[in-house]
Amino acid sequence: MDIKKEIYELKDELIALRRDFHQHPELGFQEFRTQEVLERYLIDCGLEVKRIAKTGLVALLKGDKPGRTLLMRSDMDALPIVEENDVPYKSVNNGVMHACAHDGHMAMMLIAAKILSKKKEQLQGNIKFVFQPNEEDAGAKYMIDEGVLDNPRVDAAIGIHLWSPIETGKIGIAKGPLMASSEYFTIKIKGKGGHGGAPHASIDPIICASSIVQQVQQIQSRKINVISEPTVITFGSIQGGDFPIIIPESAKLEGSIRCLHGNLDKIKELFERKIRCQCESDETTYELTYKCGNRLLSNDPEITELVEGVAAKVVGEENIKSDVQDMLGEDFSEFSSNVPSCFYFVGIANKEKETDYFHHHPKFNIDEDALFIGVEMHVRAALEFLTN
């Protein structure tokens, strides 16, 4: 049967699944209802289903012939956002919203799993349908630590993100670095507190902190090649003191370093050098700590070429965009750091339907026509990988 026709016959089911997930969003590692809905559906498809990483799932489809194993991933979690959309399927969980398309990702993967489960005789190998919790904060690592890449060992991984910066009907794919690594930093600066009218008797950590913010910007503009080493350093929080006539004892700065290249250690070395030199100049001391947000997501050339070939069949070569690299982070990087992978974007932007709000916006929504493209991409990519 024609794949497009198979998907179209499941049209109502696809839309209903997406809207149900959207209406019942759950935060990371709290996706209990979501897990149950997914589990029942996958078992009904005849798959071997296992709970993993607290609220995650992995469903195994074994082909009739031996071969490689492909991992296909969907994220599950929603965000702590009050939804502003006026739609029948608006979130019933006040303050929680699917504002990053994970509801669509789950629906697409379920329909793809149903279609592919009926094609076991064609498959030379296996498919692991992985539903990952807590994508917004490092859920993939928990799945890998619990063995999602083993038994059977995964040979390649593919992931889709519905993407509002791209118009519906277009697909964004790029070989090599696609989404940036992110390190979240905290800098604690210690000076000497005192009276605001006698600053000479103090060591002002706020003056030092403001100088660090300015000095660090030279790294991006003067110390690196912005073409070969795209880097963004952002300060998102400065805290120091709580009274206008008192110089505080300490100040704290927080922010992120994002790199669309593999030289993060170099950037961190330059970053700390700026901090150290400024603190020495201002006679303060400092403490610098990091928390890893995401690793660099870099696409494997061979797997990406396979997906590009599938995309050409689904939307046409003229609708494939390659200039889609982004400084945002993505937890799929944990998979791509372990096995050859391809992560790519399926456009959902339609101004008339008001689906062009950026991700994490309270009015974010999906052009549901894009869901059919995502399902077809999943099905065709899996068949291509496991039959050729």
Half-sphere exposure of 376 (CA within 13 A, CB side): 24
DSSP 225: -
| End-to-end Cα spacing for the chain | 19
DSSP 137: G
Catalytic residue among 26, 31, 135, 368: 135
The tokens describing 129, both together, are: 């349908």
Residue 102, marked binder:
yes
Rounded to the nearest 5 percent, the helix, strand and coil shares of the chain are: 40, 30, 35
The answer to whether the CB of 182 falls within 8 A of the CB of 258 is: yes
The answer to whether the CB of 98 falls within 8 A of the CB of 365 is: no
Residue 261, marked binder:
no
**Rounded distance between C-alpha atoms, residue 331 and residue 196, angstroms:** 46
- What is the DSSP annotation of 22-78? HHS---TT--HHHHHHHHHHHHHTT-EEEEETTTEEEEEEE-SEEEEEEEEEEE---
Angle CA(81)–CA(87)–CA(89) in degrees, nearest 5? Answer: 75
Residue 22, marked binder:
no
List, in sequence order, every residue forming a beta bridge with 345; answer none if it has no partner.
161, 172
Residue 100, marked binder:
yes
The answer to whether the CB of 75 falls within 8 A of the CB of 331 is: yes
The answer to whether the CB of 189 falls within 8 A of the CB of 253 is: yes
135 among known catalytic residues = yes
Q: How many residues does the chain have?
A: 388
Distance of CA 26 to the CA centre of its chain: 17
Catalytic residue among 77, 204, 308, 326: 77
12 among known catalytic residues = no
**Rounded distance between C-alpha atoms, residue 154 and residue 252, angstroms:** 43
Q: What are phi and psi of 6, to 5 degrees?
A: -60, -40
| Catalytic site positions | 77, 135
Q: Which residues are annotated as a binding site for Mn(2+)?
A: 100, 102, 136, 161, 360
Binding residues: 100, 102, 136, 161, 360
